[in-house]
Structure formats: structure tokens, C-alpha cells
Structure 1
């Protein structure tokens, strides 16, 4: 595990930054040093503490953040706001809704603030897998390579293990350290007293400095993995008095930096302090700042090393050091960095007070929030108890919204002591309703009240439902929260059994191809409600498929994937409410994407053949042929066949050709390109795995949660309450259930073929396919007996066949 550095505060450059004061390169070095205050994220949370957990993966709804571009999201284009959004994603929603409620113009949240706060925190600093390719490290290696030819003995890295905690890393040498060293070397080369010997000595010493960036067993630069690790760098000695003062000062700063990176903080503090108090020293300003960084490292990493720390004096001590820096008018870069270090120290050691400061600043609706306070606000909130957060504006709303996604203790599957203090959905509902009652004409608290509400319970409490629905109906469509409120209305009314009221609120959401929904996630959520409110196959057809979310649209792709596929609720509806005739209408509907229609046609083909409906099976085969490339060749043998046995044989051979053909109604159906549907399998890889149970969805037949859309709630997708069970459907499903799994059906068929006097010419291969199909997956109770029977038949009838040679065992 790693503890990434604060994204906006890369680690300082402990090269020789004081060269900036003596050379013409002062401006670029000073500009790059603006981020010199960076430290590890452990400064904000105790070492060893980290957020973890398995997020629910949803191919159709992005649940942790908006899919709307952040510049638009920060300007109040919210779409459907989910309670599962991160704090930083909920903050712009709070700001936009609060501004609209107050009738004041929205001062937008800058996109870079949202990006840094929600999405970039530390990602650019994790790992050293290819550290040499990072621009800053590459710049350092190029700069030193222009002076010396040998590679550095110690591989340049950035991360180091936390002392006494082998499972944790922290950012020890940030990118700016390497870039700063490269710039400093460039400056040193321009000095009149720069000689090859002096430059070479400075580089060799700087290699030792960076040799402390990683652990002592880090392989040297360019070393093969099999080589023994190099020992840690030897101590750095001062230069003799015979050397010029500037070069001796450079060496002195390198000694202090080496101690800092080696985590010898008492030595680093002593060396930096001596430089910081020497007027006229080329590195005085940077040493003064490094003192502050050393104090912060000592306060955070020191306890893991057995060093003492008194939290109460850390901030005052650093404030005193910052005051010394502030007393030098020309130290503007260091002053800016010192102010950031003070904020970090306050966040780490005074989290409650700092959170209150940051929340007050972010609550100012007349000023745009700055990126760094938003980042700090999120991080500091993690270190403050939930009860304390609820006392602060913004966080009160954000925490209540977040509670809407947490099940109540009675339904929580596995209690977690670390989060039991969090408010749950029902608690959040009570809080939100109470807050909303104080200002019922405003939308701010109406949003979490609706998001946390349980529609079934509201169906009993009719007075509260009336009040909430009336307030929701009054929110104008121009309000940034309107889409969220209207979607929640539809959900709650449906859950309360008021399908007619739900459909009335749904109408503006679906008019003009869901014109009000700006993202795939929002369109999918609206389509889900529309499907759950359907009363007939015709009403359901437009909403059966979903768009893949932005992150999942090209997931497995060697080529672009289709934009749509079947979700679990659609799969269940097709399986449990559609007759074969209804499926044919779906296959023929232009409302569904061709790949989905092709998969449905294939499923209908099998179902109709198994249920002895040859005319319907022919229509399905013809629809499949029209939907995929070279489809005519795939289905032609079936269409030419004159007997049920010949048709079944042709259907099995067509089924074994393509890996992507599946007769199962399952989520993801249709998510393969039309070309992919007819991609043939190699003969030795063909298996009969086209379905598990044709009377059920794949998820249900495996015992998995049949829920692609609402997996976060760990419940199966509901069937539309007003969708009738068609006459005759029960008989169809019973007959399909009797067919068993595809593996079992194929075994029975191929064994029957082996007993015919006119055995097919490719029976040896078919038996081999049957044996391989019984290796696992969806199988029937007699799987092992069938596998053995096919194995015995293959070796008895075709002992010299290459397929018999390949079939060494049965399963």
C-alpha cells in the first residue's frame, strides 16, 4: 500500500536550490519551487489509516462521480445527483442548489478544483515502476548525462517505506526534487568557477542524496533484477576550506538534504537550522523552509521511528518558523510555501478547527472556491468524527446525502465497526425531513429527503408523502436540482404503488428521447424507471437496453464495443414475462440495437426449436441471418433441413461455431459487435455453453444477485407491478426448464447421435466437444456420468482419432 503525496504540493527540491540566488536561472527555479511545500498524505491522516473497500461495479451508472464535464458540473449542470457521489462531487451540488434557493447567481466551482479534489489526489505520485520515464526524473538524468557518462549508482525513485511499516510507502522525493536538481546543475555549469572536477563531485554527491529516496535495497539504476542490491550511500563529508564558498555551501545543503531523505530528522533539523541562521548563505531561504518541512516530517513519521512528538506544539513551532520567513520581504516563494505548510500542519494536528475554517471559506457563495482548500477540506473531514461534521454547514448536507446510500443495521449484510457511527438511510431521512421542514419552499434539504426516503413506507405515511410530492412538484424545471428531484419522485411513487402518479412525473423525462438527461448514467436511470413502470411488451421495448457508462463503453475492446446492451432488469422481464411471440416482436423491433436483436433472435431460435415451433424457429433464424455478417451461411443448413432431427443437428453445429452466441437472457446481452457474434471458434476450443437455464436469467440460475442496475442495494431488480403474466407462459417456462443446461442438452443429443447406425461423419469431434463442455460452469446433476459416457463412446468408436488422443480424461 502507498500513502500518496498531496497532489497540489509536490515534494520540495532538496538539490541545491540556493543556486537560484546566485545565477541567471533564479526565475525558473523559483517558479518551480512554488510547490515546495509538499508532504505525504499521512500528514492529514494517522499513519496506517486508509480508506478502503470494494466499490460496486455498475456498467450502466457511474456512482462515485458525475459523468458531466467538470467545468459544466461546477457551473450548476448537475444531472441526477446520487448519494453515492464523493464529498467533492456533492459539494458543487450543494453550492448550486443553495445558490438557486437563495435566488443569487451561481459562482461556479472551477473545474481544476474539482479535478484535484475528487480525482487526481495522489495518482500522479504512486509507484516507481518506470520512474525514469517521469519527465522530471528524465530531465535530471539528461542534465547529469550532459556532464558525466556513468549512470547513477542508485536508481532514482520517489517512494520510500514508512519506518517499521513494510506495507506502507510515502512520497520521499517528489518530481520537483529531481527537476530542481536538474535546473541547479544547469545553473552551476554557468558559473565562472565551474570545473569538470567540481561539477563531477557535485553530481556524485547529488546521486548520494537521491540514493536515500528509496529503501536501502532499491536496485541501482539499470541493474538487472538478479543483481545484489547496492548498499546505502556513504556519508557526505564537507568540502575543504580550500574550495570556493559557494561550492562549500552547496555541499552543506546536500548534507542536510541527504539526512532529510534518509529520515534522520534530528540531523536534518540541525543542519538546516544552521544554514537558515547564516545571513548571506546562498541556501538560507530554502533551509528556513526546509526546517518547517523537517518539523512536519518529524511530527508525522517520527513516532513510527520511536521519536517523541507533542502534537500541541507542532503548529506553534511551525508558525514561529513561518514568521521568521515572513520577516524577509524578498522570500516571497518561500513565504507562499510556508503558508501552505502551516495549513497542512493545522489540518493534521488541529483537524476539527481546520475543518471549521475550511468549511466557512467554502460556504461563501459569493467567492469561487480555490482548489487547495477543497482538497484539504475533503482530506481533513476524514479525520473528524461524524458527529462533529454534522455541526458544520455543507458537511451536514453532504453527510446526510451520503447516508441515503447506507442500509440500515437490520439489513446491513456485514456490520463494520469502523463505520457504525455513520448515519444510515432511515436516520438520514429523519435528519433531512427535519431540516426541510424549516424551509419547505427550498430544494436544498428536499433532495436528501427524497433520496433517503423509502417509497413503500411513504405509501403508509400518506400525509408526509403528499407534502414531499407537493414540494417536489413546485420545483421549477430551471432549478439545478429539478432532474434529481423529478427522478426521485418517480421512484418513490412507483415504490408506493402509485404507478399512475409515477408515470405522470416520468413523462417529461422521456419526452424527446430523454432530452432532459445529459449523461448515459442519467438516461439509464430514467430508462430503468420507465421499464419498471411498463404494462405491456410494447411499453417495455424502448427501455430494455442500456447505454454503457462512459468508463465501460470500451472495456474489453480490441475494437469499439456497441454502446448498448441488456441490463439485468430487462433480462428478467424478457425471461419471466415475454412469451415466444413477444420475443419475436422484440427481435423485429427497430427500437433495439442490431447486436441485441441478433442475440435475442438466437435465443428465440433455440427456444422455438426446443418447444417444437418450427415456423417460429425459422423466423428467428432468418432474423439472425439479417442481423449479422455472413448470417445466411450460419443458418442455411437449418433452413434446408426437412426433419426435426436434422434441424436440431444443424442448430447445434451453428451454435458451436461462435463463442459469443448465447441463448441465455442475461445482463450484457447485445454487448458484442455484430461481427463478433459470428467470429468462429477454433475446433479444439468449441464448447456447448450457450445457456444455463432457458427459463431464467443467468444471474438467477447461478445464485448471483440478478441486479445490474441496483447492485449497491444487493437486491434483485423488480418486475413491473402492472405487467401481467401472459397466458401459456407458465407452460413454456416449464418446458424450457426441463431442457436443463446447454451442456446437458448437448450431451444427451451427441450420445443419441453416437447410437445411430448412420452416425455423423464428425461425431468424434462432437464427442470431444461434449467432454470439454462438462469441465465446469453450468452443468446438470448427471454431468459426470454424461462426461464419462461420451469419453467411453469416443475411445470405443474412434480410438485412433486425434480427438480421442486429445481427450485424456472425463469430468
Structure 2
């Protein structure tokens, strides 16, 4: 059983393992220190087996790879061992470390050892591959299959790079093979890295493109080379103002033989030819009738059917045939939504493209929301399933809502989004707040009625607003409610709505984080050091019913202080005029605390000082005054 002494012994041994792991490998080779000792035979088997694992791990990090390999292998062969599933895999890791890393400290004047010859590289890889294959064949070790496969790929890359590169190249040259299987394309790209020497890399890239047709195509459609004009094969025609050399090369590769006796009907059905059809459609060249006819003739059963239709619609839209593009996108969406397995990514791509060629605000609203397919950690880039199964707009859609619409347009979007959603509520809240800030009482009341109907937590707020007299009291009530619930005049800046529910914030944690600049939520000093958002090929549609009204509203809203400054000025004015208001000290507290950072204005210190002075002079004994010892 668990006792404090046994638990402490396990922790002490684990800390010793971590200490070895954290040290520089060469320092460990010079002086690994004492290895972890076994537990007495009098201890229960479970605790002795956990110590065996710690001893093996300690030997591994102390560069005693033969010892750790033997210890991990024993663990893997011991039925019922708590770490049995990891034994064979970690024995494999130990074996690879023995090949890969030195087991004794090198002399200080030692030269870099020469690379092993190819036969030696292959021989070094045979045993680890055999050990790994045994793990992958054992269903009882499924827990470590993925890790084992990744380890074997890395071993091949490190121990026999030439053989591994040849294997991957042969696999990728077979167009019937799946390039994503076992990360083949990723590994090939890693091993064909470029050095940064522009001329040498250009020569290498040109050689790869000439030797491998599939890579020629990949380099063309991704423009992944840094010096594209130097790496296009010399047969490519000269660039033009409309179409660069890669673009012209793609169209030439597709159109080779068009209109001549050399072109055979079966050329239209080969995968290689259709690949260049896709590349040509992706380019900026004019869409010629033979290309359009061929794209439309691709059968539904072809794996490239959806890709060809998607890019054909893009070319049609770009060349003034938006009606045809819209029809293509809508037909493709019907087919994709009926396909199995369902591809949310494909549906989202076509939905976004259809959104970008909308004819009106109502039409754009139909294609605004999409299904999230993954979440990304902004710090690590690690991807995971979306946290909530909710419909969301793309980044382009968010920018369209925040920057491209008048209050009347936002209300039209809210009405057009028939299904209940967090974003429908966000749009209604944004329309309400913008209309109020602009003094547009009829629109504010219309939006408040929608919020009252759609958002239960904001129903009392909306009801009070609609019943309050027009003027300062109504506006003040909305500002206080916005602070407490996190309501924003920018749909894309509703940080605290919790999926459209807008819960109350704790009074002492409330800050004025409702907007930076209304109509431009990516502005603000705190964004100054960050890269500008990527410009999308599919810009949000310019479909507002009244551009002049939209521009006039946006110009007024952009001149408004940040939420920090606006709330600060409002708090000072309201507290001065309404000293009996019990919420006035809290509002001044929020104004002061909000000025500590985030989106602030050039005069934020003056506003913070004034709010602090009013709070301390008029309410010296308030708890909110005690929590505001400084201004910022």
C-alpha cells in the first residue's frame, strides 16, 4: 500500500531521473554521478517494479545505453509489470541512442568523425527496424505504436539519411501512393532542406523539379522557393504583368499540345495532366475556353473533382463571371454535404469562397458561418479538436462584420441568421451598442428587442433599456451592463460572451475591455509588435446597401476613445452629476483599474488620475476606494 515513506522514496528517485535528464549530455558523460539504487527485497513487488523503471530511466539519461536497453527489455518481458507496455519501446530508444550518441566524453582536440559509408548506415539501421517491427506487430503494445513508428522514421533519418531519402523519393514518385502515409512528404521535405545560399538552393530546386514531376508541380502551386524566377525551368516563357513565370509555366504544362494532332483524348484523363489543370486554374492567367471545358468535364468519381470545381469557380469569379462561380460553388456544396466521409474542411473552403462573391448583405449572411475543424494553441501551434461544436465565421467573416457594415447592415445580418447561434447574438449586441453610441435611437431599440428575445441573461438589461427615457440614463444603463456582461460593439471582440450567454463578471474583476477601436478590433498599441493579418485571396464582399452611411458611421466610431478611455470619461461625468448613485464608486474603480494596460489612449493617465481623484475625494471610505490606492 501507499505510505508516506514509500511515496517519498519514489519522489526522490524520480527527482534524480529528472536531474540527469536536465543536464548537458557531455557533462553527464564526464561525471554521471551515482546511479539509482534498487529497493530492498522486503518492499512490495509493485514498488520494486516502479523503482526498476526509474533505474532504467536513470541509466538511459546517464548514457549507460546497454544497461538501460537490457533493463527496459526485461520490463517489457515481465507480465503484469506496471510499465510493461513501455519496456520494448524504451529498449528500442536505448538501442538507437547507443548508435546515435557518444558513450564516452570525446577528447577536447578531437576532430569531427567522418560520416559513415552508406553500407554501414544501412547495417546500423537493420536491428532497430527489426525491434520496431516486432513492437508494431504486437496488438498488446498499441499504446506505443505511434511513438514507435515516429522513432523508426527519425532513426532512418539520422542513421541512414541517404537510404531514407531514396526510399521516400521512390515512394513519392509513385503517384498511386499516399504521400501523407507515415509522414513521407513531411520527412522528404525535411531531408531536402535548403541552406539559405540563394544560388545553391536555386540550382538544387531546379534539379529536383526536373527530376521529379510531382515536386515540379508542388513547387509551382506553393511557390515555396525563395527565388521563383531563378528556379522555373528554362523552357518557361517570359513573365508578364498579369502572370508570373510560375503561372505561365503551369499554363504551358497544362496546354502542351492543345489544338494539335499530338493531343490524344486520353490525355484529358491522366492524373498528371489533371494536376497541371489544377495548377493552371490556381494561377492568375486568363481562363481560356478549352481549360473551362476540360474542368467541367472532370467526372464526379475523380478524386480531383472537388479541387478542380473549387478553383474553376475562383477563376470564373476573378475574370468577371461571378454568377457562374456562385452556381458552381453552390452545386459543389450540395455534393460535398452529401458525401461520406464528410469533409468539414472542404465544405468550409467552398462556403468561404461563396461568401466572398456574395451579392448582398443577406446573401453574404447565408454563407457567413462555418463548422470549426480544429483549435490551435497560439503559443505552440499544437492542434486539437474544437472545444465547442458551434458555427463560427472565418477571419474574413469577422473582419467583414467588424469593419464593413453599417448598423442597418448588422441588423440585416442578425435577421438573416435564422438559426440561434452565439454569433447571431453577438451581431445583435454589436448593432445595439453601435446604434446607442451613434445616437440612433430607433435602431438601438430594434436591436435591443432582438437581444431581449435571443439572450436570456441580457433580457432584463434590454427590457430596462427599452423602457428608459431617451438620453443619458438609458445610455448609462447600457454602458454599465456592457461592463458587467462583456458586451462589445464589435462582434469579433466579444471576449467574455461564453458562447453567447454573457454571464456576469465579478465586480472586482470587471475591466473595460470591450473594444480597442470600434470598427477596427485589430488596432491598438498592444498589437503594434504583432504581424499584420494575412491578406486573404477571398476578401469580404463589398455589399453594404448604403456605403456613404456606413463610412460616416465608421468614421465617427473610429474617433471614439478605446473602451478604457470612454468608460473613464463617462464614469467621471456620471459620478460628478449623480453623487447619490450607489454604483458610481464601483464605476470609478473600474475606470482606474482598466487604465493599467491593454488598449489605452494617449490621455489615459490624465483620465485615470481624474477618476482616482473623484473617487478618493467623494467616497473616501468606500471599499472601492480602498482597492484603488494608485492611478496609472
Counterpart in the other structure of 1:664: 490
Counterpart in the other structure of 2:215: 396
- Distance in 1, Cα, partners of 2:96 & 2:361: 69
Q: Which moved more, 1:513-522 or 1:294-303?
A: 294-303
1:315 to 110, 115, 119: 119
Cα separation, partners in 2 of 1:650 and 1:596, compared to 1, 3 Å: same
Cα drift, residue 541 of structure 1: 0.9
Cα separation, partners in 2 of 1:531 and 1:294, compared to 1, 3 Å: closer
Q: Contact (CA 8 Å) 1:546, 1:567: kept in 2 or not?
A: yes
Counterpart in the other structure of 2:407: 580
2:305 pairs with 1:482: yes
Counterpart in the other structure of 1:413: none
Counterpart in the other structure of 1:776: 597
Counterpart in the other structure of 1:803: 624
- Distance in 2, Cα, partners of 1:546 & 1:805: 48
Cα drift, residue 803 of structure 1: 1.0
Q: How do residues 19-418 of structure 1 correspond to structure 2 at under 5 angstroms? A: 163-164=25-26, 211-215=58-62, 257-258=66-67, 297-298=98-99, 301=102, 305=106, 306=110, 309-313=113-117, 315-316=119-120, 319=123, 348=158, 351-352=161-162, 354-360=164-170, 374=182, 378-379=186-187, 382-384=190-192, 387=205, 389-390=208-209, 393=212, 396=215, 399-400=218-219, 403-404=222-223
Provide Cα deviations, 1:44-102, integer angstroms capped at 9, x if missing partner: xxxxxxxxxxxxxxxxxxxxxxxxxxxxxxxxxxxxxxxxxxxxxxxxxxxxxxxxxxx
1:436 to 247, 254, 265: 254
Counterpart in the other structure of 1:674: 500
- Distance in 2, Cα, partners of 1:369 & 1:303: 40
2:548 pairs with 1:756: no
Cα separation, partners in 2 of 1:445 and 1:797, compared to 1, 3 Å: farther
Higher relative contact order (CA 8 A, sep 6+): 1
Q: Contact (CA 8 Å) 1:429, 1:452: kept in 2 or not?
A: yes
- Distance in 1, Cα, partners of 2:520 & 2:53: 64
Cα separation, partners in 2 of 1:151 and 1:577, compared to 1, 3 Å: closer
Q: Contact (CA 8 Å) 2:295, 2:308: kept in 1 or not?
A: yes
Q: Contact (CA 8 Å) 1:156, 1:213: kept in 2 or not?
A: no
2:565 pairs with 1:744: yes
- Distance in 2, Cα, partners of 1:495 & 1:392: 34
Cα drift, residue 358 of structure 1: 4.4
Give the TM-score normalised by the residue count of structure 1: 0.54
2:373 pairs with 1:549: yes
Count of residues in Structure 1 that have an aligned counterpart in Structure 2:
532
Cα drift, residue 797 of structure 1: 0.8
Q: Contact (CA 8 Å) 1:754, 1:763: kept in 2 or not?
A: yes
Aligned alpha-carbon RMSD (Å)? 5.3
Cα drift, residue 733 of structure 1: 2.1
Cα separation, partners in 2 of 1:562 and 1:786, compared to 1, 3 Å: farther
Counterpart in the other structure of 2:329: 506
Cα drift, residue 299 of structure 1: 6.4
**Unmatched runs of 5 consecutive residues or more in structure 1:** 1-144, 167-195, 217-232, 234-255, 263-289, 327-331, 411-424
Provide Cα deviations, 1:134-171, integer angstroms capped at 9, x if missing partner: xxxxxxxxxxx9xxx999968678979774499xxxxx
1:539 to 338, 352, 363: 363
2:296 to 463, 470, 473: 473
Q: Contact (CA 8 Å) 2:69, 2:95: kept in 1 or not?
A: yes
Cα drift, residue 638 of structure 1: 1.4
Cα separation, partners in 2 of 1:437 and 1:762, compared to 1, 3 Å: same
- Distance in 2, Cα, partners of 1:363 & 1:729: 54
Q: How do residues 690-709 of structure 1 correspond to structure 2 at under 5 angstroms? A: 690-694=514-518, 696-700=519-523
- Distance in 1, Cα, partners of 2:26 & 2:277: 47
Q: Contact (CA 8 Å) 1:572, 1:665: kept in 2 or not?
A: no
- Distance in 2, Cα, partners of 1:802 & 1:203: 55
Q: Contact (CA 8 Å) 1:472, 1:486: kept in 2 or not?
A: yes
Provide Cα deviations, 1:340-384, integer angstroms capped at 9, x if missing partner: 99999876566445433444356557889997xx55775355334
Query: Which structure has more helix as a fraction of its residues?
Result: 2
Cα drift, residue 508 of structure 1: 1.0
Q: Contact (CA 8 Å) 1:594, 1:674: kept in 2 or not?
A: yes
Q: Contact (CA 8 Å) 1:429, 1:453: kept in 2 or not?
A: no
Cα drift, residue 767 of structure 1: 1.1
- Distance in 2, Cα, partners of 1:781 & 1:205: 63
1:610 to 434, 437, 442: 437
Q: Contact (CA 8 Å) 1:390, 1:396: kept in 2 or not?
A: yes
- Distance in 2, Cα, partners of 1:631 & 1:790: 28
- Helix, strand or coil at the partner of 1:642: coil
- Distance in 1, Cα, partners of 2:616 & 2:184: 71
- Helix, strand or coil at the partner of 1:666: helix
- Helix, strand or coil at the partner of 2:547: coil
Cα separation, partners in 2 of 1:309 and 1:475, compared to 1, 3 Å: same
Cα drift, residue 536 of structure 1: 0.8
**Unmatched runs of 5 consecutive residues or more in structure 2:** 1-5, 29-42, 72-90, 138-149, 194-203, 230-242, 257-266
2:350 pairs with 1:526: yes
Cα drift, residue 794 of structure 1: 0.7
Cα drift, residue 562 of structure 1: 5.1
- Distance in 1, Cα, partners of 2:557 & 2:125: 79
Q: Which moved more, 1:680-689 or 1:721-730?
A: 721-730
Counterpart in the other structure of 1:493: 316
Counterpart in the other structure of 2:422: 595
Cα drift, residue 629 of structure 1: 2.2
- Distance in 1, Cα, partners of 2:605 & 2:290: 62
Counterpart in the other structure of 1:84: none
Provide Cα deviations, 1:476-521, integer angstroms capped at 9, x if missing partner: 2221111112112222333444423422322312448955693332
Cα drift, residue 723 of structure 1: 5.9
Q: Contact (CA 8 Å) 1:318, 1:342: kept in 2 or not?
A: no
Cα drift, residue 717 of structure 1: 6.2
- Distance in 2, Cα, partners of 1:476 & 1:162: 59
Counterpart in the other structure of 2:237: none
Cα separation, partners in 2 of 1:160 and 1:647, compared to 1, 3 Å: closer
- Helix, strand or coil at the partner of 2:347: helix
Q: Contact (CA 8 Å) 2:401, 2:492: kept in 1 or not?
A: no
Cα drift, residue 734 of structure 1: 2.6
- Distance in 2, Cα, partners of 1:369 & 1:665: 40
- Distance in 2, Cα, partners of 1:639 & 1:570: 30
Counterpart in the other structure of 2:470: 643
Q: Contact (CA 8 Å) 2:333, 2:350: kept in 1 or not?
A: yes
Give the TM-score normalised by the residue count of structure 2: 0.68
Cα drift, residue 639 of structure 1: 2.1
Cα separation, partners in 2 of 1:808 and 1:257, compared to 1, 3 Å: same
